[in-house]
């Protein structure tokens, strides 16, 4: 299915894997930081949030991609939000019924997935312009990338801040560093992981903004050298 839909320059494998490292939603696109900082102080919370986001992202991408030719351009954002909100309500009810502790743990951040910019961002930047198969792969890749990012942050924060992993004590209470359970520690850890991800994604001498500036909502305002040079090329052409 995916092969039949394949546009000439889009590679299915790339669509899925770009969400993991090169365009990781948290560490490279820097989207959805609010909820990810809030739920990443424990691994269980991070896992619950990650799975919920994968679910919503996958299904909303599929539905929005299916509807992309029917949604009028002027009201597309409300339409996307409505679709996303529907799936978030489903997740919320499912968690409340079958995984109540995680539902309690995530609290307000679960319904807030509706306004998580990763999901709206993918709907706007990818699902509304691509075929169903590609949109599903993109949603899955972005969701998995988000979950990996959350789990990495939560691993460090829970281990150093509370001395536990998935609730099991690893480091005695007296030797924990409470700073990591606070927002400050969250920002610190995110910063360090961002450096690691930038290192993984960029080879020396390669431009910073990556290949696909069209997918970036900030492309119009971006001041990175790569974007500027691209703009100059376009102006020259014109």
Partner 1 sequence: MASDKDIMYPENFIITSSPYLRQAKNTRMIMLDVLIALLPCVVASTIIYGTRSLLIILVAVAFAVLSEGLSRRVMKRPQTIGDLSAVVTGLILALNLPIDIPLWQVALGSVFAIVVCKQIFGGLGQNIFNPAMVTRIAMMSAFSASFMTASRPVQWILDRFPDVIAESTATSSATASATMDAMSNPTPLQHFKDGGELFANVNNIFVNVFLGAHDTLAIGETCIAAILIGGIYLLLRGVIKFYIPVSYIGTVAVLSLIYGGFDLSFVGFQMVVGGLLFAAFFMATDYATSPLTNTGKVVYGIGLGLITCFIRFWGSLPEGVSYSIIIMNILTPHIDRWTRHKAFGQREKESMDRAAAKEAKHV
Residue 175 makes contact with partner 1 by CB under 8 A: yes
In angstroms, give the least distance from the CB of 40 to partner 1.
Answer: 18
CB of 153 to partner 1, least distance (A): 17
* Phi/psi of residue 231, nearest 5 degrees: -60, -40
Told to check if 228 binds partner 1 by CB under 8 A, we report no
The nearer residue to partner 1, 10 or 177, going by C-beta atoms, is: 177
Q: How many of the chain's residues bind partner 1 (CB under 8 A)?
A: 9
Beta-carbon-side half-sphere exposure of residue 114 (alpha carbons within 13 Å): 16
Angle made by CA atoms 193, 196, 200, in degrees to the nearest 5: 135
State which residue, 27 or 180, has the beta carbon closest to partner 1: 180
Minimal distance, residue 214 CB to partner 1, in Å: 32
Strands 168-169 and 164-165, by their bridges, are antiparallel
Task: Mark out the alpha helices in 19-110 (DSSP H runs).
Answer: 33-39, 43-66, 76-98, 100-106
Least separation in angstroms between CB 175 and partner 1: 8
| Residue among 177, 194, 216, 222 that touches partner 1 (CB under 8 A) | 177
Q: What span, in angstroms and rounded, lies between the C-alpha atoms of 46 and 38?
A: 9
Nearer to partner 1 by C-beta: 107 or 191?
A: 191
Instruction: Report the C-alpha gap between 173 and 170 in whole angstroms.
Output: 9
Under rule CB under 8 A, which residues in 126-165 are in contact with partner 1?
none
Q: Rank residues 98 and 175 by Cβ distance to partner 1 and give the closer one.
A: 175
* Residue 179 is a binding residue for partner 1 (CB under 8 A): yes
d(CA 134, CA 3): 9
Q: How far is the CB of 192 from partner 1 (least distance, A)?
A: 9
Contact status: 182 vs partner 1 (CB under 8 A): yes
Of 78, 79, 52, residue with least CA distance to 63: 79
Binding status of residue 184 toward partner 1 by CB under 8 A: yes
Residue 43: which residues within 8 A CB-CB, separation 6 or more?
Answer: 151, 154, 155, 158, 165, 166
- Which residue, 121 or 185, is less far from partner 1 as judged by CB? 185
- Of 99 and 159, the one with the shorter C-beta distance to partner 1 is 159
The answer to whether residues 84 and 62 touch, using CB atoms and an 8 Å cutoff, is no
Task: Return residues touching partner 1 (CB under 8 A).
Answer: 175, 177-180, 182, 184-185, 188
């Amino acid at each position: 299915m995916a092969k039949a839909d394949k546009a000439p320059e889009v590679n299915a494998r790339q669509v899925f894997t770009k969400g993991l490292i090169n365009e990781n939603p948290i560490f490279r696109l820097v989207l959805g930081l609010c909820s990810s900082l809030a739920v990443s102080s424990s691994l269980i919370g991070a896992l619950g949030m990650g799975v919920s986001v994968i679910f919503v992202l996958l299904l909303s991408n599929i539905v929005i991609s299916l509807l992309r030719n029917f949604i009028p351009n002027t009201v597309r954002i409300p339409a996307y939000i409505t679709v996303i909100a529907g799936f978030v309500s489903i997740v919320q009810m499912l968690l409340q019924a079958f995984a109540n502790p995680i539902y309690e743990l995530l609290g307000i951040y679960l319904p807030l997935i509706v306004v998580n910019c990763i999901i709206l961002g993918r709907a706007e930047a990818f699902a509304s312009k691509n075929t169903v198969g590609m949109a599903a792969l993109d949603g899955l890749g972005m969701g998995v990338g988000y979950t990996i990012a959350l789990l990495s942050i939560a691993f460090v924060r829970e281990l150093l801040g509370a001395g536990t992993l998935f609730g099991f004590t690893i480091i005695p209470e007296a030797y924990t560093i409470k700073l990591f359970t606070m927002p400050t520690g969250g920002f610190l850890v995110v910063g360090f992981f961002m450096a690691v991800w930038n290192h993984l994604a960029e080879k020396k001498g390669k431009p910073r903004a990556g290949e696909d500036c069209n997918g970036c909502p900030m492309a119009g305002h971006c001041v990175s050298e790569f974007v500027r040079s691209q703009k100059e090329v376009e102006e020259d052409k014109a």
